[in-house]
Amino acid sequence: MRTAFKGLMASLLLSLPVMASAQETAQDRASVLILDASGSMWSQLDDGTSRIEVARDVLSDFLAARDPAQPLGVIAYGHTRKGDCTDIEVLAPVGRQDPAGLGARLRTLNPRGKTPLADALQLAATQIPATSEEADIVLVTDGLETCGGNVCAVASGLAAMGIPVRAHVVGFGLTETEMAQIACVADTTGGLMLSTQSGAELADALIRTTAPVVVDDLPADHATLNLTIRADSAGRPDRVQFSAENLATGAISAVGTLDFTQAAALPVDLIASDYRIIADAGEMGHGEVVVPVAAGDNRTVYVPFQGLLPTLDMPAPTGAFRAGVNALLPYRVRQEGLATGGGDFILSLLPLDAATTTDRRYDYASQDSTLGGHVGAFRAPPEPGDYLLTFSRNADLPIDAVMKTFVVTFVERPDVTLTAPPAVEPGADIPVTIAGGMGSDDWLEIRLNDQRLSWDNTVTLAEFFDNRYGPAKPLLAPTQPGEYELVYIFGGLDDAHQVAARLPLTVGTVVDFDEEARATDIGAASDTSTTAPTPQMTEAARCDDDTGCGMGEDAPHPGSGVVQVEIAADGAQGQPIDWTLIPIGRAGEPPVASGAAIAGPWTTALDEGIWGVNGLADGATYFGQITVSASGPVSFAIPRDMPIEVEPPLSDDIGFTCDDAVQCSFEDPEAQIIGVLPAGWVTDVPTREAYVAGGDRGLVRMSFFNPDAPENAVILNPRQWLETNGPCLEVQPGLLCRFEPASAETLAAFDMLKLLLRDTAPRNLPSPAEAMANIISDLAKEDPNAARAMEALMGAAAGAATSGNGAMPDMGDVLGTLATGGTASPTASPTASPYVPGEVLRRCPLKAACPFEQPNVQIAGVLPPSWSVEVMTRQADGTVATWFTDKDPAGNAKRIGLNQSGGDGCVATRVGTLCAFTPYIATDEIGLIASTLVQGGAADVRNAIADKVDAPKPITNPAALDALLSQLEGN
């Protein structure tokens, strides 16, 4: 391996292009290398070797092969203390380096800590000598920022230094998504973004980012300019075409194309004169600068470049937000700009008089800038009041340079207004617009007799709008005709205070009274079925408690506003659609309607402001929110709503019977369930068998029914459940459901069962040793060699523990010392955030993602390889909570919470808020969980997981595994 890297380094150095003056001194240009030595560097590459081992070899050979006269400094982080964000060390100040000595120092690095990228970049900038005319900072990392720093803001500071400072990013094993999140570092400074997956690629990247470039001497009247761009906040394109206009002669010549994936600057040979240098990337951006060029010049010229920003539809909030609750802001990207990475754009919450996007900033949150609909989320400020909210590139920008600004208000209990039709068809999508509230844990639900009808008739706000995971989830009307209520719920409050707004809702056959009158005039027979009025939007004001709300009603009318707009259904392909537009936040202004189903785009005139758009078609509904202004877009594509369904199985084996004339008590010690059975009723056999293959025992599942009318069944924790089957209710053992229509006897049985069923299983948690034994047992079924390796590793760890209290030593230390043949020393594990392990629902194999589902809460999704998900519980506020857990190769705990308080890097999902509670979590890991979480069952994630779940793969190659086993057995 070492010989191969040495040969590779030599060939790379010999193949470098000749580009700059031979008279340039070595001291004109300095390089600072930043090396990631965090705990994740123990991760394996495809050949079974760890990243840190490969990096040590490559860096040693790089130091031996490079020109020692070129100034170089080296910084490392994460190699001294676990969990310490200040663990950053200058291993070698900028200057001439002794290759052997520095290489030996690098070989002592033992990864164990965190990833403070921003602070490491800041420290590197301080190492650049004052005599340098330009500098390169090379960041080699296998992970993203885990210490809360803002690498994009630091990059902006580097770009503003007095000399050209190029910051290059060498991603070692990073995914495309992770690379995109730190692309701002290279984009802002004119550096390179290089993704490496092997030692050979890492060696190539180091040469390309640090080696000097030399050319032959130029003619006396010529000069060399290294052309690049200084991108603005929009970002940097992949390629730029340069041309030079000689201002003395007027001649314009194309001088070449700069490909930023290959080089940081384009060298050009020019005759001495004054030039206008033009950088052009088509619709992606343009820039130019006038520069005098003297004979013998050899310098870098930065052309100020104005790039393309995304085109947004981001309506202003229509009401106040709730204090202390994360807030949501739906928006749509109509056209992508240059930057589409996960950390490229942010929402910043600021004081009203802030001068820049970092001026006394309370909080910021990364936002999606890819094409389509999104739900922006940001944390509430520490106190109620008025604040400035901005949407901008992730940089320190003046307020007048941001893309969007809003004044937002946070109050203890905001007014919430709902707008929806007073009547809908059974099972139809209900078009609803919301003003105020917009909390990340809030939801909409349908109630009957002031009780939640079903979770199938409930939708969280995070999934109610188009988002990065797909179209908005609709709020579905009940399947049975009747009088209901549409209710807005404040998440996290008790029953007495959670209702924020309510609105009457009639479910039945909707009849157009004008058409009915015409039919009566010509003698048509009257329809005697239950009917409801034609939908006309009504509004519901804030509810202070559960006592009720005021309502209003306005008739739709043809548009008569000042702005001509065009409304079209996204992907409808000529389907006739009946449109209704609801003014948001403008009391007394009536809706605007098309008056009939229209095939193709509908043109109407609207007043300026925010409008809720509802489209009704045969078998489909369309819903969205638009902002109309004289200077804004006039064509809007409204997305379609997509409902979800699941399938229900039912067991038939007889478990208990009650032949008495009165009810009977029953108990099943194995399933640990007790209850009372109605007279004449029977049950199937109770079971706690796993919901999915490989999962642990879960909640009790059983069925109750009268043998004379088995269709009137009551099901406890059904495997899956269709909303058309009937309602469900949360009870102590889980979810109790019944079929509709139900007889009076069934209703009475349901009322008794919901009160008298009890799950008696204690919450027994395994000891750490038992838990590890279970993990090894599960692993042995998939890979016996890997299980043997883990047993040996745990034996080595146990032998190293000397604390006397049974505590395990730091696994990063154990792995590191085993890899180098040393002896592990015990290290107390840091105290984790408050967390009590729960019963595991599903655990994935080490090398394959896997699906999971829990039907009693109707939630399913996909786990990353080696991750586990605990059994989910329904909280008092109606949300479902659980933990996702894993450990990295260094033994660092990784934990993600669903609807748990606290956490960082939160993202909105279809079923609530997902937050990271530990460092070391890869973007792809939390992204996979977030993108596949759905409310439903396994059928609902089938399409989502088709390209995300792979067959199990070997944990490592046989040679590497045998070597590990030999080393472990030798200890």
CA dist., res. 511 & res. 513, Å (int): 6
Domain 222-307 in CATH 2.30.30.280? The answer is no
pLDDT of residue 298 exceeding 80, the answer is no
CB 594 within 8 Å of CB 579: yes
pLDDT computed for residue 414 by the predictor: 94
pLDDT in tens, 54-78: 888 778 777 776 777 788 899 999 8
CB 394 within 8 Å of CB 357: no
Q: What is the average per-residue pLDDT within 694-719?
A: 78
- Among 37, 35, 41, 79, which Cα is nearest to 59's? 35
Which position has the higher pLDDT, 561 or 423? Answer: 423
Which position has the higher pLDDT, 458 or 707? Answer: 458
| The most confident of 275-284, 522-531, 624-633, 863-872, by mean pLDDT | 275-284
SS3 content of the chain, % helix, strand, coil (to 5): 20, 35, 45
pLDDT of residue 623 exceeding 70, the answer is no
Side by side, the strands of the sheet bearing 758-759 are 664-668, 673-677, 758-759
Q: What is the average per-residue pLDDT within 446-455?
A: 92
Q: What is the average per-residue pLDDT within 802-817?
A: 38
Residue 27: pLDDT band (50, 70, 90) is low
Domain positions in the chain are 2-210, 222-307, 311-411, 413-553, 555-642, 664-759, 849-950
pLDDT computed for residue 158 by the predictor: 86
CB atoms within 10 A of CB 596: 10
CB 708 within 8 Å of CB 657: no
pLDDT of residue 545 exceeding 70, the answer is no
Q: What is the average per-residue pLDDT within 44-58?
A: 77
CATH code for residues 2-210: 3.40.50.410
pLDDT of residue 244 exceeding 90, the answer is yes
pLDDT computed for residue 808 by the predictor: 39
pLDDT computed for residue 229 by the predictor: 86
CB atoms within 10 A of CB 301: 22
Give me the long-range contacts of 245-254 (CB less than 8 A, separation at least 24).
245/275, 245/276, 245/278, 246/271, 246/273, 246/274, 246/275, 247/273, 247/274, 247/275, 247/276, 247/290, 248/273, 248/274, 249/273
- The distance between the two most distant Cα atoms of the chain, rounded to a whole number of Å, is 114
Q: What is the pTM of this model?
A: 0.43
Residue 559: pLDDT band (50, 70, 90) is low
Could you give the percent of the chain with pLDDT greater than 90?
20
Tokens of 760: 């008696």
Which position has the higher pLDDT, 491 or 341? Answer: 491
pLDDT in tens, 393-430: 877 889 988 989 999 999 999 999 998 888 999 999 99
Tokens of 785: 């060699």
CA dist., res. 860 & res. 882, Å (int): 12
3-state secondary structure of 450: coil
Beta carbons within 8 Å of 14's beta carbon, 6+ residues apart: none
156-186 per-residue burial string, b: 16 or more CB within 10 A, e: under 16: bbbbeeeebbbbbbbbbbbeeebbbbbbbbb
Q: What is the average per-residue pLDDT within 777-791?
A: 61
pLDDT of residue 519 exceeding 50, the answer is no
Which position has the higher pLDDT, 761 or 257? Answer: 257
Classify 184 in phi/psi space as left (phi over 0), alpha (psi -120 to 50) or beta: alpha
Compute CA 333 distance to the chain's CA centroid, rounded to the nearest angstrom.
17
pLDDT computed for residue 103 by the predictor: 83
Residue keyed to tokens 């009946």: 578
Residue 693: pLDDT band (50, 70, 90) is very low
Which position has the higher pLDDT, 82 or 557? Answer: 82
pLDDT of residue 637 exceeding 60, the answer is yes
Could you give the percent of the chain with pLDDT greater than 70?
73
pLDDT computed for residue 351 by the predictor: 94
Measure Cα distances from 336 to 233, 284, 310, 638, 938 in Å.
14, 10, 5, 18, 33
CB 269 within 8 Å of CB 222: yes
The dihedral sign for the CA sequence 478, 482, 488, 494: negative
3-state secondary structure of 952: coil
DSSP 489: E
pLDDT computed for residue 740 by the predictor: 82
Q: Mean pLDDT, the chain, as a whole number? A: 75
CA dist., res. 685 & res. 498, Å (int): 39
**Stretch among 37-51, 353-367, 442-456 having the lowest mean pLDDT:** 37-51
Angle 149-152-157 from CA coordinates, rounded to 5°: 100
| The most confident of 263-272, 408-417, 861-870, by mean pLDDT | 408-417
pLDDT in tens, 642-684: 332 323 333 345 778 887 666 677 778 888 888 778 888 888 8
CATH code for residues 555-642: 2.60.40.1120
Residue 745: pLDDT band (50, 70, 90) is confident
CB 639 within 8 Å of CB 618: no
CA dist., res. 399 & res. 397, Å (int): 6
Residue 723: pLDDT band (50, 70, 90) is low
**Stretch among 545-559, 748-762, 936-950 having the lowest mean pLDDT:** 545-559
Is 222-307's fold the same as 311-411's?
yes
CATH class for the domain made up of 311-411: mainly beta
